[in-house]
Chain A
Amino acid sequence: DAGVTQSPTHLIKTRGQQVTLRCSPISGHKSVSWYQQVLGQGPQFIFQYYEKEERGRGNFPDRFSARQFPNYSSELNVNALLLGDSALYLCASSVRDSLYNEQFFGPGTRLTVL
């Protein structure tokens, strides 16, 4: 079975621009979570979507937004990019049908803001 896929692999943008990152969950998984991983640090939670609704949001500014589509894929949007938004963005999917919400990670999108 295919794992979590993310596109694009790498992305270079300039300050002030907008970016859209995409994630396709494992087949059968209805929940998608987004994490930001700055170089040399642990991932930080951004959003979780389940059944197309936002279920949780981390401590990120309103420039960050996301949505989930009927096929459970998801997009993360970041507006007015800052240099500090340069990071690896990880998507994780889960079935979310038990107390234990095991998350499976994709390979990530490396975003560089110049």
Chain B
Amino acid sequence: AQTVTQSQPEMSVQEAETVTLSCTYDTSESNYYLFWYKQPPSRQMILVIRQEAYKQQNATENRFSVNFQKAAKSFSLKISDSQLGDTAMYFCAFMYPLGAGGTSYGKLTFGQGTILTVHP
């Protein structure tokens, strides 16, 4: 079974600076999806960025980018020009494509989360 590990329980950064959140995962499959979700104190889980394992190019969404190292099974999130609104719990998550391995139904497996605080 796949596992997702986030080794940084808490991180902090000054407004306008850059911060990187780490994530490692374990799987024996070659085709899968990786995600970073943001959960602010309001509790709503919001998708930040997605990476398909078959794509070598790292995904980018505005100030958010990832460093996907497939061989090392590493998937870090870089937040540039941090804003106060970025303060939240961030989760790394993993999903197999529907039907992968004959049993996948597209469930998400989450890491333990990293609390990010952006200071003014």
Chain A residues within CB distance 8 Å of chain B: 31, 33, 35, 40-45, 48, 50, 55-56, 58, 88, 90, 92, 94, 96, 98-108, 110
Residue of A nearest to B111 (CB): A42
Contact A33 B107 (CB under 8 A): yes
In the bound complex, CA of A58 to CA of B109 (Å)? 10
Q: 0/1 per residue, B52-72, Cβ < 8 Å to A?
A: 100000000000000000000
A33 / chain B contacts, CB cutoff of 8 Å: 107-108
Complex CA–CA separation, A92 to B93 (angstroms): 14
30 example contacts (A-B, Cβ-Cβ < 8 A) are as follows A33-B107, A41-B112, A42-B91, A42-B93, A42-B110, A42-B111, A42-B113, A44-B110, A45-B107, A45-B108, A45-B109, A48-B106, A55-B105, A88-B43, A94-B106, A96-B98, A99-B99, A100-B98, A101-B97, A101-B98, A101-B106, A102-B50, A103-B106, A103-B108, A105-B44, A105-B45, A106-B44, A108-B43, A108-B44, A110-B43
Q: How far is the CB of B50 from chain A (nearest CB, A)?
A: 8
Closest beta carbon of chain A to B24's beta carbon, Å: 14
Q: How far is the CB of A91 from chain B (nearest CB, A)?
A: 10
Q: In whole Å, how far is A80's beta carbon from the nearest beta carbon of chain B?
A: 25
- Contact call B47/A50, Cβ cutoff below 8 A: no
- Find out whether the CB atom of A56 lies under 8 angstroms from the CB atom of B105: yes
Contact B112 A101 (CB under 8 A): no
Q: How far is the CA of A75 from the CA of B61 in the complex (A)?
A: 34
Closest 10 CB pairs of A and B: A101-B106, A42-B110, A105-B45, A99-B97, A56-B105, A55-B105, A45-B107, A108-B43, A43-B110, A107-B44
Taking CB atoms, residues of chain A closer than 8 Å to B99 are 99
Chain B residues contacting A56 (CB-CB under 8 Å) are 105, 107
Q: Given contacts A48-B106, A48-B107, are A100 and B33 in contact (CB under 8 A)?
A: yes
